[in-house]
Amino acid sequence: MRHAFCFGVATDAASATDPVSLETVYKTVYKKLLTFLYKHPHCFFSWAFGGVELELYAKSHPEFIKLLSELVDRGQLELLGGGYYAPVLPLLLPVDRAGQIELLTTLQRKLVGRRPRGVGLSPNIWDPLLIDSYKSCVMDFAQLDVSLFPMHLSRFSPLILEHTGKTVAALPVHPELAPRSESPESYIARLIQAYPQNNSPDMVAVCAVPPCDMLPLLETNWLERFCAALPEEIALTVPSRFLKEAESFIPAYIPPEVSYAGASQGNMQDYMQAHPCVQNVYSRMMHVSCMVNQCRGDKARKKAAREKLWEAQTGGAYLAVGAETNSDFQADAYRNCIQAEKLVREASGFSASALAFDFDSDGHTEYAYQLDAFNAFITKKGGSVFELDVFKALFNYCGDSLRLFVDCLQPVGTRTFGGETVLSRSLFTEVSFKRVKKEIRLQKTALYGTDSQCVLLKKNFSAFETGVQVQYILKNLSPAPLCAVFASSSSLLLPLGKGKQCKTEVVVEQQKLSLNTAKLFNAESGVATVRITDAADSASFVFVPNEEAGFAFKPLPAGQHTYAVGGTFFWEVALEPDREMEKTITLTILSPRKGEKET
């Protein structure tokens, strides 16, 4: 009984977008692999490229594409399809799913003269809804990680999956069958032992090796010795040929599921809930997706906006081992979302507005200030700004789950601020929302301190052409005097400019100081202005309290190409029962010009 074995390369197309790293992979691995395949016509292989990767090679190495095309014509090599930007397909609207798949399909057909018949990217993510999109794009099969297969099914049988009367085949990908530090003969023995020892027909296993693991197989002639030592019971083939010859499939249902190195959750929705920064970028992408699909106007700009939206859907922003570390991918996703929104505005006309809607699908209303120069999104959780998009910079300065105007009450003498407090984690209630005046009034009653003193905090937001203002009204509702420190913290994610960090200046006791942004700074009082300018000089953020305050500054961890800072204004508060105090912070967003003198 012969068992089919499909060997291939598993490129990390979700994060393979850097031209330098792609060029390195080409020179060290891909060039050698294609040379080997060309010399060994009986070694069959499958390959899944992302669109960015394939198009870059088409421009810089046309000989590579010519050789790919020849191997495809031989039937020795099969190129697999998927989304052009290697997106997490279950997260997309059907129109974007189909668009991304067709974009990669068109590119492959243009370059090698043949369209893909199956999907090979993201084999560890599944949703039955994908079947409709696959069939509409004429895809016959999908490669799925075997861990997604229900336990009662054979782990080596091809499945047939159905949804609304449409079907696709599913081939099992076995990561555990990747070659280890073993001889080809030992590996083949392990393969034979892994297949079921029965007479079941049409057994198949797919093994896709990442480029870093493929290199030693080529340099040590392991792959050549493997092909030469293959026994008759193992048939090396490509997926399409196996499916054409297969006689039996097992009808099955696979529920929505993700089997990913950085995910302990069973499906993408649970995964996003466990990683707020992923949920935030997903919500932003879906918001822009709706804007693009509803756009009525300039068709050329709408098309360009959709292309930027697809770039924003690159999988690296939504799946990364330790989602809190992938801020660089997410910064790119936000940048493309902002560009797409900018094009939609140009295509359909734009007027400044204030909106109230459930932005992140959590059942609570969020608010959006959409102005010519920036967007500011406000959540009821803590009554804070959780996204700040500056159009000139094409950057979300609240990326990586940072927030502006996060409040806390702490004991007198406290100078260390941060972490969740009763106010920052509380859900504020809406008092009023005035769309035309762009005013949002929120409030929250909370218990403070060991004595559980009742306090009322009102937060009133208003927007103007170049910024946002927040007014605080803190009232003591308890029968005892309230003695505490009231603080308002704001954290910003900033892009690095050619290795530079941001510039931070404060005015203390009428003296301007330049801060070392890599060190802590604390002023007990007298701070009238704080100005933070990103390294690229694309945007400056000027915070001005209505009364001089204390100020604490600290650097925060961020990504490889970003830098984060946090600043806190604080005041000591002494309120008698039923008394209140009022503080205001105005944030002005400026776009510095070259040669502009600091004031």
User: Could you give the CA distance from residue 215 to residue 72 in angstroms, rounded to a whole number?
Assistant: 22
Is the four-CA dihedral 126, 127, 133, 139 of positive or negative sign?
Answer: positive
pLDDT at 419: 65
pLDDT at 19: 86
> Exposed (0-12), middle (13-18) or buried (19+): which is 519, by Cβ within 10 Å?
exposed
DSSP of 62-117: HHHHHHHHHHHHHTSEEEEB--TT-B-GGGS-HHHHHHHHHHHHHHHHHHHS---S
The answer to whether the CB of 67 falls within 8 A of the CB of 47 is no
Rg over alpha carbons for the chain, rounded to the nearest Å, is 28
User: Could you give the CA distance from residue 480 to residue 389 in angstroms, rounded to a whole number?
Assistant: 43
User: Could you give the CA distance from residue 215 to residue 226 in angstroms, rounded to a whole number?
Assistant: 15
Q: In what order do the strands lie in the sheet with 353-357?
A: 353-357, 366-370, 374-379, 384-390, 395-396
pLDDT at 262: 56
- Give the closest residue to 401 by CA, choosing from 284, 486, 312, 310: 284
The answer to whether the CB of 397 falls within 8 A of the CB of 493 is yes
pLDDT at 536: 79
3-state helix, strand, coil in the chain (%, to 5): 30, 35, 35
pLDDT at 352: 93
The SS3 of residue 570 is strand
φ and ψ at residue 142, rounded to 5 degrees? -135, 140
Tokens of 243: 């499916």
Helix (H) or strand (E) holding 32: helix 31-39
Tokens of 435: 């769309």
Q: Around Cβ 48, how many Cβ atoms within 10 Å?
A: 26
User: Could you give the CA distance from residue 304 to residue 309 in angstroms, rounded to a whole number?
Assistant: 9
Thinking of the domain 375-590, which architecture would CATH place it in? Distorted Sandwich (2.70)
The SS3 of residue 339 is helix
CATH topology of domain 3-258: 7-stranded beta/alpha barrel (3.20.110)
Q: How many CA atoms lie less than 13 Å away from 85 in the CB half-sphere?
A: 25
User: Could you give the CA distance from residue 49 to residue 29 in angstroms, rounded to a whole number?
Assistant: 14
Local confidence pLDDT in tens for the 599 residues of the chain: 579 999 998 877 666 677 888 899 999 999 999 999 999 999 999 999 889 999 999 999 999 999 999 999 999 999 999 999 999 999 999 999 999 999 999 999 999 999 999 998 777 889 999 999 999 999 999 999 998 998 888 899 999 999 999 999 999 999 999 998 899 999 999 999 999 887 677 899 999 998 989 999 999 999 999 999 999 889 999 999 999 999 889 999 999 988 765 565 578 888 888 888 889 999 999 999 999 999 988 899 999 999 999 999 998 888 865 444 467 888 899 999 999 999 999 998 899 999 999 999 899 999 999 999 999 999 999 999 999 999 999 999 998 889 999 999 988 887 777 766 778 888 999 999 999 999 999 999 999 988 899 999 999 999 999 999 999 999 999 999 999 999 999 999 988 876 677 899 999 999 999 999 889 999 999 999 999 999 877 899 999 999 999 999 999 887 777 888 999 999 999 999 999 999 999 999 998 765 454 43
pLDDT at 326: 67
> Exposed (0-12), middle (13-18) or buried (19+): which is 89, by Cβ within 10 Å?
buried
pLDDT at 598: 41
Is the four-CA dihedral 287, 293, 294, 299 of positive or negative sign?
Answer: positive
Cα dist. 534→118, 326, 405, 494 in Å? 45, 20, 19, 6
